[in-house]
Amino acid sequence: MVYAMSMGKRHDYRPAMSRITAPVLVVDGALDLQTEKADRLFASSFPNSSLAVIQGAGHFMYDEQPEEFSQIVGKLLERVR
For the stretch 17-70, pLDDT in tens is 999 999 999 999 999 999 999 999 999 999 999 999 999 999 999 999 999 999
What pLDDT sits at residue 6?
60
DSSP 54: E
- DSSP three-state, residue 24: strand
7 has a pLDDT exceeding 90: no
Domain ranges of the chain: 14-80
What pLDDT sits at residue 12?
84
DSSP 2: B
Question: Structure pTM?
Answer: 0.80
What pLDDT sits at residue 5?
57
What pLDDT sits at residue 45?
94
d(CA 60, CA 80): 24
